[in-house]
Amino acid sequence: MNRTCLSSGKWSGPHPVCRRESGAHCSDPGIPPGASRTGSVFDIGEKVIYTCNDNHMILIGSEERVCKEDRQWSGKEPTCYYQHTYDTPLEVSQEFTDGIKNTFASLQTETNVTQEGRIIKLTKSGILNIYIALDVSSSIKDADFKNAKEAMIKLIEKIASFPVTPNYDVQFFSSKPIEIINILSFFGNNTRPLAELVERLNQVKETHIHPRYNISAKVKEGIREFYDYDVALIELTEDVPISHSVRTICLPCTEETEGALGKKIPCKEQEQFLITNNEMRPTCIEKALSADGITTTNASMVVNKNFFCTGGNDNEADHIACRGDSGGAVFKNYLRRTIQVGLVSWGNKVMDNCGKTTKVLSDGDSRDFHLNIFKVVDFLKSILGKTYQDYAPLVFVD
């Protein structure tokens, strides 16, 4: 028997086993390459246990197998792989399909399975809660997002073909989670038809990412993650209802903002009027050099002119952003109107109080760096200023 070493780090074909008639109830289960086996008696109820010979190898499959009455071994044939070994798309597809079939078509459950072959034990009257989360942050390419969304829809459609009634909770997330389907809506005999679930998943029509965004643009200059042009627009299929927790906001360089300011002001003068304290910027951005992944000594390269800086406690302590706040609005209130001037992008320090209180004050070293919305007006105009769309276009001013 010939076997070939594949680029995935695996050997082609099944494990070869030399068997002889021993009178045992089960046949010899064999020993995979790179593994050792404890147990050499193959009668009903007897066990064999597998371990990998190298600490750097990972055992995939069943660590322990039992000889059953039907002359078959329980579990799945084990294999020892190095950590760089990967599954091909075909293998993933086969395992995924088999996993779904085993989950919903069988009430049996296997034991002592380490890495794969895990079974959900489910009765027809049982409860199955399925939670799905999908990353929609600006680092995700539009094609990848669409593929992931299609995979979710196919999963839901596949599960719907089995005699079970699952409950779903679907969340899209970037800086903050976006609830698409709430699992609580399924309880109290509120069964959701398949068509409604698919419709809710299709609420995101398109994701528009700034064409100049490239997080790896300055790795060679000593900046591991570069957040210039870190902005995207998510287009939905339906309007978002305005409520106490969802409000409109004015974008700069638009006729709406001119109305909020009470006078006609060119775009450049709006920026000068709304964003102040620029004289403190040079000393503020120096703190960016202390962030993880920064080895350059040029602060202006890390935080270029497209960003403004907040934080510190020289005169008074600013509120500081925490992980998960990225993408949030930096705004200014003027005459009871709210005008967005920036997007929370990144910071140099995680404060201890983050997650413990709603507002965290900066210390002497913490700084936040926000993308200046005025610097990406052309991008916003190219999407939001279009006519003949499903939404009313914004009118931008020069």
| Selection from 93, 100, 94 nearest residue 118 by Cα | 100
- Per DSSP, 192 falls in state P
- Residue 294, classed as helix, strand or coil, is strand
Indicate whether 251 and 371 sit together in one domain: yes
Q: Indicate which CATH number applies to the domain containing 140.
A: 3.40.50.410
Name 147's Cβ contacts closer than 8 Å, sequence gap at least 6: none
Distance (Å) of CA 11 to CA 1, 36, 115: 12, 18, 19
Q: What is the pLDDT of residue 289?
A: 94
Tokens of 101: 């079939």
Residue 277 belongs to a domain: yes
Q: Indicate which CATH number applies to the domain containing 328.
A: 2.40.10.10
Indicate whether 368 and 250 sit together in one domain: yes
Burial class (CB in 10 A: 0-12, 13-18, 19+), 254: buried
Residue 286 domain boundaries: 238-384
Final residue belonging to a domain, choices 202, 226, 256: 202
Check pLDDT > 50 for residue 115: no
Indicate whether 280 and 375 sit together in one domain: yes
Indicate whether 315 and 197 sit together in one domain: no
Q: Distance (Å, rounded) from C-alpha 229 to C-alpha 246?
A: 25
Residue 139 belongs to a domain: yes
Indicate whether 295 and 161 sit together in one domain: no
Final residue belonging to a domain, choices 202, 224, 259: 202
Written as one letter, the residue type at 395 is: V
Check pLDDT > 90 for residue 229: yes
Domain count within the chain: 3
Indicate whether 33 and 143 sit together in one domain: no
Final residue belonging to a domain, choices 176, 202, 228: 202
Residue 50 belongs to a domain: yes
Check pLDDT > 90 for residue 300: yes
| 59-99 confidence digits (pLDDT tens) | 888 899 999 888 889 988 888 888 777 777 777 666 666 66
Q: Distance (Å, rounded) from C-alpha 131 to C-alpha 159?
A: 13
Q: Max alpha carbon distance in the chain (Å)?
A: 96
Average pLDDT over the chain, rounded to an integer: 80
Q: Distance (Å, rounded) from C-alpha 385 to C-alpha 379?
A: 10
State pTM to two decimals. Answer: 0.53
- Residue 374, classed as helix, strand or coil, is helix
Q: Distance (Å, rounded) from C-alpha 124 to C-alpha 43?
A: 34
- Residue 211, classed as helix, strand or coil, is coil
Tokens of 384: 């939001």
Residue 211 belongs to a domain: no
Q: Are strands 129-135 and 167-173 parallel, antiparallel or unpaired?
A: parallel
| Selection from 42, 39, 15, 16 nearest residue 28 by Cα | 42
| 348-369 confidence digits (pLDDT tens) | 988 888 877 678 888 889 999 9
